[in-house]
Structure 1
Amino acid sequence: MTSTFARALAVGSGLALVLGGALSQGPEVAASASPTDDLNAVDTGGSTSSAVIDWNDVRQEVDGFGGAFAFHKAGSIQRLGDPLSGQILDMIFNQEDGIGLDIVRVMVGDGSIDEWGDDIYDGPTETIMPEPGVFVWDDPDWEDVKDDFDAYQIWLMKEAKERGVDTVLASVWSPPAWMKENESATGGGPNRLRDDMYQEFADYLSEYVLGYKEHFDIDIGYISPTNEPDLSTGYSSSEWTPEELNVFVRDYLGPTFAERDVPAQIVVGEAVGFGEEWVRPALNDPQTVDFVDVVAAHAYTGLVDGETAPNPDRWTTSNELGKRIWQTEYMNNGAPRDRLFVNNTITDGLRYANLIGNMFDQVSLNAYFWWWPASNSGADGSNLIRLQNDGSPQGGNPTETGEIRVFKRYYAFGNYSRFLEPGYVMIGADARPVDDVLVTAYKDPETENFTVVAVNNGTDDHTIRFDLDGFPADVDAVVPYRTSASENLKKLDPVAVSDAEFTVALRGSSVTTFIPENFELPALPAMRDVFSTYPAEENDGQSPGLKVTDNPDGGSMITNIRHGTHLEYSNVNFADGSAAGFVEQMGELRMHARVAPMAGGTISVRLGDPRSGPVVGELEVPAADDPDACRRPWTGLCPDEWITVSTDIDTSSDGGAYGVHDMYLVFENHPRHNLRMFNLDYAEFSD
């Protein structure tokens, strides 16, 4: 399947940019397609805070960043076909072209048919042991049928391996039904492993690891015997008490893995809440503790500070023992978080940027996982990349359309995952150099590469001086990569390092990653989206005569707007034209613009070409009450000052805002008039 998204990534916009060249008057300056970035225009005379980063204050090791592909979500990617499926995988796993995830989390199949009963949601995968004593690879026809066994997950693991991922975590949602008290892999009745099946289950997990290596050449590096042991559900699940987990690991799984030389390490916990409670009996048992390689938990409960930080008191035993801690599943879950447009924007991105940094800083986290990195699903906040579908009801086998949505949380997650590799170590930093700013830092002991991540939660810029204490002497510059309301992991110009210091203005509501210039990564393919704002001055091309001047409210704005002028924004991904993603809201999209009226006029939203491209929306800007007052060149605003104008956007698949397009804001008034129409601050979309 070839989609407009795939074509856009393959060929780019291919359009020449029209750059402004007018001379400035008064406070106005001629604008270009790439305005001077605020990181390189620091006002050192203002208030500057300092963050010391200590190269020699070595803390925990980083194991990596991961994501799950359970419940056939790898199939959603595979069905797209090349080149799009390959591009999605690169966006997930490739460090050059994507966010560089390091760990694949898969589901140990149990063969169940869950409550939805269709080929999107039925059983996680086939079980390797559909009945006692019978393994699927014992079938005489195994060589003829094995390509169909667990096909989606095996395809995904191999594709990830080709992209450099060599770590797989396999989690058990439920043992096979014949091992359980309720004879079902799903909830209902006594949803537990039978007491007489503990050894059978340990052997089962051993065979799973050894069999996947023998038959599929896949190394399962980590095994978790239970996913969310504190939850019984209508899909695959199985309940355990903390003491039952201790007994199983101590007396069965640990000894069996040791006796059979099973190479997988044991992950214990994965309870719903972010804490060690389900693992504490095993940690306090001297016979079990050495079998526990990783203590894991999900983060659906147990967070503090507006759900952006862990509770360190829930991890005291793990930290005292120096156990590795993994957060193995989290996403936007539950109303209203998953049902608000804002939860696909920078507001959501900052939430996760804070949570990741706080977990590494406050509980010595070693690895962080998202739930589904990419999936065909509804507007449920479960994914970083949503594979758009045809709108069929949940549970009714929705079909992928070939369009994708990329949320701000993808880029904010990438501000960590793209720049931190397994084997890095966290190093000491002043985590809170000023209110609203979070700083964490990491280094690679082998190469002397390093990563500094700074999150500015405030709406105002903050100027920070980074003091690189004990860093290698040859660090001359750092390269920033920023995610903000208008930017998606944008690579910025290098910032000079002098006397082991560099000073930058962190943009308000942003997360910025700094790495040394000699280890710089390429810019990601430029792609805008409906979840970003569109500052007028941050355009990709504009008509001669348009000017940038300071906005009295702060920031910049475009002025000298006259009839026939325009701004260009390249590669805007409208996906299927929807903002919210719900079936009942498919195709609904609005645009808003913040303007200061003068003579007034129309902002026509055109696609593909500023003159002949289809018009998908028109924003009407009224005239100011006193237009004459606006003709004075030193007047930045008119008496009415800022207002917001809006329009519905045509999102039809035939000529509308559907797929990827270059977008133009074309300014129109009376052709014979040469009046300043209005000043433009920014445009943005909403549902």
Structure 2
Amino acid sequence: MLKLTSRWSRLYTVLAVVSTFSIFSCQKNSLTLESQEAQLNKKAAVSAQAGATIATLNWDQTYQKIDGFGAFGGRIVPFFESAKRDSILDYLWGGSGLKLNILRGKVLHTYPFNQQTKVVTIKPAGVSIDVDPNSATYQNLTADEKEQLGQVWIIKKAKERYEVPFVMASTWTPPLYMKTNTSSISAKWFNGLNFNTSSTAFARYLTGFVKSFQNEGITINAISPSNEPENVFSDWDASYWDSSHLGQFITNNLRPELNSAGLQSTKIISSENAAWGTADNFLSGMDRSKVDILAGHGYVEISGIITGQRGFNQSPSMWNFSIGGKPMWVTEASDDGGNYDNGIEGGLKLAVNMHKLLADCNANAYVFWLGMLAFQNNEALICTKSDGSLEFPKTYDVMGHYSRFIKAGYMRINVGVQNGNGLLISAYKDPQTGKFVLVVTNTGTAAVPLDINLTGFASGALNNYQTTASSSGHWENVGTVNPNSSGVYSLTIPAKSISTLEGNKL
């Protein structure tokens, strides 16, 4: 994706060229609907605390289905070489950790590719993926071979140990010999796929990648032919695409090639622009007929960059085109503003970003950028201290407030809010089991009393999990909340906190 120190100074310059400002925010686009729902809920809402925020959950008013939460399985070589790699896998995809159900991988541009047989070699021959990283066998590999082998290990172990159900792979750049400038890894000067000579070859390369992982016993559920296709200023591996050519490539080359290889079930993701609003503009002018999952990233828009903002987009805008019932995924986001913050302020930036994209923009899935780094930086959910020990920024805990409790298949349900006091509240239900989850974020400096009403269903006690500035553990269970005689759940949401309440429909 990026170089850690230079993303914002260069990557978003290009957004000024390809982006237009969204006029209405997600909140404004949904104002009429929310106002109507607020009126419907107002009569039923009961407050047990003076000045409290009143949240009314409506079981029967549903929105999008949640597909899940994930992270990128990298940076690959530091991940593979880490002495803590087994623990890191568990902390991300395991039951004691975030319980992520999506793993994002990378279609490396360095794989050997036989264009006659269409075979892509995804790991060096004669070397087991279980090779000791300290052994001479591993150390004698090239940097490219280490990365290739490391990715197979990460994905395969995650699948074997935790049965991670969904693996996607994004493509930063085609092999260099397929690009218009065959000597440049970047997309500078609009360097991208040479459509005149390499469209078929690149489609076969992506298909061969999926087939080779299949031969390793790993299903690549979805593939994306691009990553931030508008970025023509950065030095890292990238490929320029305009929306017209990307749509044509997917429709005329990639989908037919996947089908001909028996990979009809492999989904295609596009277009993974750097900002949600940029993806809106890009996808709206693209042939999306063969795209299965519409995707964008969750970074600050160009309008925010101009005013000095960095990192997570705190006010993403709803897409203005008709998505035709297709899912919308956030396939990358992190706080890469440059200043490391492992505390609650950093965590709340992620909390706001996730709430706005899921609850206001109806995203179906949210994938964080890096699962781990070998040093301390907010681009990763898990960091490594200088002594080799692992560090968990509050962003890790915030991610878990969603990923540990809201499962794939849950539906977002309506929450009517009165006297909001700055709280961000969203709710989700499992239509099959009757479980439901309420996520509440308080970015303010004062605690807020909250009264919860239920419409269309009843429940028993709610389990209350919280993360605050002083929390020492992950998702601390601070007790249960029981309804009063009127069926109202009353509690106090601490300042600078995120809470997840979990219950069961009776």
Pair in the same fold by TM > 0.5: yes
1:476 matched to 2:460? The reply is yes
Offset of 1:477 from its aligned partner? 0.4
1:106 matched to 2:105? The reply is yes
Tell me which structure has the larger Cα radius of gyration. Answer: 1
1:58-457 matched pairs, under 5 angstroms: 58-72=62-76, 75-81=77-83, 84-95=84-95, 97-111=96-110, 127-129=111-113, 132-133=115-116, 144-145=126-127, 147=129, 150-161=148-159, 162-184=161-183, 186-187=185-186, 188=188, 191-195=191-195, 196-214=197-215, 216-232=216-232, 233-262=234-263, 263-275=265-277, 276-282=280-286, 288-302=287-301, 307-312=313-318, 315-319=319-323, 321-334=324-337, 338-339=338-339, 343-377=341-375, 379-389=376-386, 401-430=387-416, 433-457=419-443
CA RMSD of aligned residues (A): 2.6
Greater RCO, 1 or 2 (C-alpha within 8 Å, sep 6+) = 2
More helix by percentage = 2
Offset of 1:427 from its aligned partner? 0.7
Change (3 A) 1:226 1:339: same
Offset of 1:143 from its aligned partner? 5.9
Q: Partners of 2:483 and 2:112 in 1: how far apart?
A: 56
Offset of 1:80 from its aligned partner? 3.4
Offset of 1:430 from its aligned partner? 2.2
Q: Partners of 1:94 and 1:185 in 2: how far apart?
A: 39
Change (3 A) 1:385 1:297: same
1:508-523 matched pairs, under 5 angstroms: 508-516=495-503
Q: Partner of 1:464 in structure 2?
A: 450
Change (3 A) 1:301 1:137: closer
Q: Partners of 1:224 and 1:110 in 2: how far apart?
A: 13
Change (3 A) 1:309 1:190: closer
Quick check: 2:453–2:488 contact (8 Å CA) kept in 1? yes
SS in 2 for 1:466: strand
Q: Partners of 2:417 and 2:381 in 1: how far apart?
A: 26
SS in 2 for 1:278: helix
Q: Deviations over 1:199-257 (max 9, x none)?
A: 1111211111122101x111100100001111133221110011111111121112222
Q: Deviations over 1:7-42 (max 9, x none)?
A: xxxxxxxxxxxxxxxxxxxxxxxxxxxxxxxxxxxx
Q: Deviations over 1:237-293 (max 9, x none)?
A: 1100111111111211122223333121000111112132222223xxxxx433111
Quick check: 2:298–2:333 contact (8 Å CA) kept in 1? yes
Change (3 A) 1:132 1:409: same
Q: Partners of 2:48 and 2:417 in 1: how far apart?
A: 22
1:582-621 matched pairs, under 5 angstroms: none
Offset of 1:86 from its aligned partner? 2.5
**Please, which runs of 5 or more residues in structure 2 have no aligned partner?**
1-46, 130-137, 139-144
Q: Partners of 1:301 and 1:206 in 2: how far apart?
A: 33
Q: Partners of 2:163 and 2:461 in 1: how far apart?
A: 28
254-263 or 176-185, larger mean C-alpha shift: 254-263
Q: How many residues align?
A: 427
Q: Partners of 2:405 and 2:423 in 1: how far apart?
A: 20
1:532-551 matched pairs, under 5 angstroms: none
**Please, which runs of 5 or more residues in structure 1 have no aligned partner?**
1-42, 112-126, 283-287, 390-400, 520-687
SS in 1 for 2:59: strand
Q: Partners of 2:222 and 2:334 in 1: how far apart?
A: 22
1:542-581 matched pairs, under 5 angstroms: none
Give percent identity, aligned residues only.
27
Quick check: 1:174–1:186 contact (8 Å CA) kept in 2? yes
Change (3 A) 1:366 1:137: closer
SS in 2 for 1:154: helix
Change (3 A) 1:317 1:45: closer
SS in 2 for 1:109: coil
Q: Partner of 1:504 in structure 2?
A: 491
TM-score, normalising length: structure 1: 0.59
Q: Match for 2:93: what amino acid? A: F
Quick check: 1:326–1:367 contact (8 Å CA) kept in 2? yes
1:51 matched to 2:37? The reply is no
Quick check: 2:98–2:400 contact (8 Å CA) kept in 1? yes
SS in 1 for 2:382: strand
Change (3 A) 1:303 1:347: farther
Change (3 A) 1:481 1:304: farther
Q: Match for 2:219: what amino acid? A: D
Offset of 1:431 from its aligned partner? 5.1
Change (3 A) 1:137 1:507: closer
Change (3 A) 1:432 1:366: farther
1:10-29 matched pairs, under 5 angstroms: none
Change (3 A) 1:328 1:184: farther
More strand by percentage = 1
Q: Partners of 1:365 and 1:298 in 2: how far apart?
A: 11
TM-score, normalising length: structure 2: 0.79
Q: Partner of 2:22 in structure 1?
A: none
Quick check: 2:372–2:380 contact (8 Å CA) kept in 1? yes
Quick check: 2:464–2:478 contact (8 Å CA) kept in 1? yes
SS in 2 for 1:291: coil
SS in 2 for 1:151: helix
